[in-house]
Amino acid sequence: MTIYALGNKEPEIASSAFIHPQASVIGDVKIGKRVFIAPMVSIRGDRGPIVIGDETNVQDGVVIHSDPRLTPRIGKRVNIGHNASIHSEEICDNAAIGMGAVLMLGSKVSEGVLIGNCALLHNKTETEPYTVYAGVPAKKMRELGPNDPARKAIDIYVDSYVGNAEFYPNNLRIVDR
Ligand SMILES: CC(C)(COP(=O)(O)OP(=O)(O)OC[C@H]1O[C@@H](n2cnc3c(N)ncnc32)[C@H](O)[C@@H]1OP(=O)(O)O)[C@@H](O)C(=O)NCCC(=O)NCCS
């Protein structure tokens, strides 16, 4: 695994979290239980702390970077889609970040918010809980009621990645050719 201490800061990673060997985790980073970190993810806590809550998944190519002014806190059961760039201050529990979304420095994602694919979330945008934001810059599209199919789909998705965190450690192997 490419997990690096930086100076006196060393990542704290729950034993039930899975970090792919081709991901990079540097410095002041805390990773919770049953988190799944995919290949080519970069989590760089060199300018301040980064916290990732239990059962969150961070998919291929995602970049998460800290800043001396704010701590990127990512809540529990958050789904972060492929190639998203996270420079946000906070992503609350049960949120989902679409593929390729860019969360600008200091932006905040409220509980249960779905950020659409390729959205650009500005730091001045106040995201209301359980709503969808999409576009460049991201704007509110609609509410996400308790029975919204998107909400159920995100839940199923998060569960499948929790399953990955359990399955990968004993089943992923390099194939010699
Ligand atoms: C934003 C999103 C939730 C909208 O889904 P939806 O509510 O089913 O909306 P629809 O697909 O019916 O589209 C409604 C309108 O929004 C537009 N739209 C959809 N996705 C959009 C996006 N990402 N950015 C901008 N506009 C978008 C559609 O073109 C359509 O426009 P129209 O009314 O002018 O025709 C969905 O497209 C999305 O981006 N989901 C994220 C999925 C994801 O990345 N998950 C992580 C998996 S790894």
Where are the chain's structural domains?
Answer: 2-171
Of all protein residues, whose CA lies closest to atom 9 belonging to ligand 1? 141
- pTM equals 0.96
What CATH class does 2-171 carry?
mainly beta
Phi, psi dihedral angles at 79 (to 5 degrees):
-110, 115
d(CA 117, CA 56): 18
Q: Give the model confidence (pLDDT) of 66-85 as tens digits.
A: 999 888 899 999 999 999 99
Rounded CA-CA distance 78/58 in Å is 8
Pocket of ligand 1 (CB under 6 A): 59, 79, 81-82, 96, 98-99, 114, 116-118, 132, 134-135, 150
| Mean pLDDT score, 110-125 | 97
Please say whether the beta carbons of 45 and 63 come within 8 A. no
Q: Which amino acid is at 78?
A: V
Ligand 1, residue 134: give the atom nearest the CA: 24
The model's confidence at residue 1, banded by pLDDT at 50, 70 and 90, is low
